[in-house]
Amino acid sequence: MIDISYHQVMWTDLDVRHLLALRAVAEEGTFGKAATRLGFTQSAVSHQIASLEQVVDARLFDRPSGPRRPTLTPAGRVVLRHAEIMLAQLETAEVELDRHRRGIAGTIAIGTFQSMTAVVLPTTISHFRREAPDIEIRLVQEDPLTNYLDLLFTGELDACLTVGPTPDSVNSLLLGLDPHVAVVDPSTPAGPVDTYSFSGQPMIGQPKTDACQQLVDTELERLGITSNYVFNSYDNGAVQAMVGAGMGIAIMPLLTVDPGDTSVAIRQLDPPLEPRMISVVWDKDRTPSAATERFIEIMASVCEQKLAHAAEVGPRR
C-alpha cells in the first residue's frame, strides 16, 4: 500500500506563484522570457519551479544542455493541466468578487409590505436596474406584515422594511414619516377633518393584526375616540373602494392612498395622529453587500420624494 500522507501535507504548501511560474515557462519556452512576463528575475522563476517540484515530488521540466528549450515532463503536463484549471478559477473568482465589490453582480432579497411595494419599490428598482442590470432582485411580501427579523438573522433576507420602532439587534435607517389622513366622501368640505367626529361612525380599516392598523387604533384610543369598524381588509385598494362605495370612512397612511381615485376625498386630520415610521433594517452582525447598500440608498431617496409628493398632492383634494 502506498503511503500518500507525506504528499498530502506537502501539497498544502502549494502557492499561486508556483502555478504562474509553471504556466509562464511552459508558454514562453524559456525561464528568461517567463521572468520578463512575470516581472521577476530569472533566478526567482527558477526558484519557484524548484519549489513546485519539491511540493509535488516530481520533476516538471527537462532542462537539456545547450540552446534547446526546457520541455515539460509527463508529470509536468499533468500538473500544468490542473494548474490552468486552478488559475482560471482564481481569475474567475477575482472578476466575480470585483463585480460584487462594485455592486453590479449578485442577488439581493428585500422584505417589503404593500404600500412600499406599490409606491416606492417600482421607482427604486427602475433606478437600480439602470445601474446594475445583472443584479437579481427578490422581494418577499406577506400580509399581515410579517416579522422579517428571523429571515434577516438566517440570511434569507438582506434587508427588510418595517413600520414602527426598530429593535437594537439590527441596523436601521429611517426612510420617512408617513402621515395619517382621512379618506372620506368627496362631498366632505375642504380643509382638515375633525378627528373626534369619527367616534362611533362606520369605519373601514385593516385587520387588528396589521401593524399599521394597530398604530391607528392606539392613536384613536389615546384620543378617546370609539372606533366602529364595519369592514376590514389587508388590501389598501379594497379599503379605499369601500369608502368610495359609501360604506364608511377610513384613516389610512398617506402612502397607502390612491390620490387619483375620484370616488373619495383625502383630508388632513385635526388633531393629527402620530405618523407611521417607515424604516429599512438589516442584520448588524452581517456585512451588507455593496448592491444592498446601493439599493437602500436609492430607496431612501425615492421614499423621501414620494412622501413629499404625496403630502403635497393628497390632502388638498
State the architecture of 109-177+278-316 in CATH terms. 3-Layer(aba) Sandwich (3.40)
pLDDT in tens, 106-128: 899 999 999 999 999 999 999 99
pTM of the model: 0.76
Lowest mean pLDDT among 1-5, 40-44, 56-60, 280-284: 1-5
State the architecture of 5-101 in CATH terms. Orthogonal Bundle (1.10)
pLDDT given for residue 7 in this prediction: 47
Hey, what amino acid is at 51? S
pLDDT in tens, 62-106: 988 777 889 999 999 999 999 999 999 999 888 888 877 787 778
Answer yes or no: is pLDDT of 145 > 60.
no
Please name the residues in contact with 112: beta carbons below 8 A apart, sequence gap of 6 or more: 121, 139, 140, 141, 160, 161
Answer yes or no: is pLDDT of 317 > 80.
no
pLDDT in tens, 154-199: 999 999 999 988 888 899 999 999 999 999 999 999 999 999 999 9
Name the nearest CA neighbour of 166 among 152, 180, 179: 152
Which cell goes with 56? 509535488
Q: For the domain bounded by 180-274, which CATH number is listed? A: 3.40.190.10
Domain definitions of the chain by residue range: 5-101, 109-177+278-316, 180-274
Name the nearest CA neighbour of 252 among 265, 240, 270, 238: 240
**Do 5-101 and 180-274 share a fold?**
no
pLDDT in tens, 211-240: 889 999 999 999 999 999 999 999 999 999
Instruction: Determine the number of helices (DSSP H) and then strands (DSSP E) in the chain.
Output: 11, 14
Beta partners for residue 138, in sequence order: 109
pLDDT given for residue 85 in this prediction: 94
In this structure, how many other beta carbons lie within 10 angstroms of the beta carbon of residue 166?
A: 17
Cα 148 to Cα 20, 64, 141, distances in angstroms: 47, 68, 10
pLDDT in tens, 32-44: 999 999 999 999 9
- The answer for 274, left when phi > 0, alpha when psi is -120 to 50, beta otherwise, is beta
Answer yes or no: is pLDDT of 312 > 90.
no
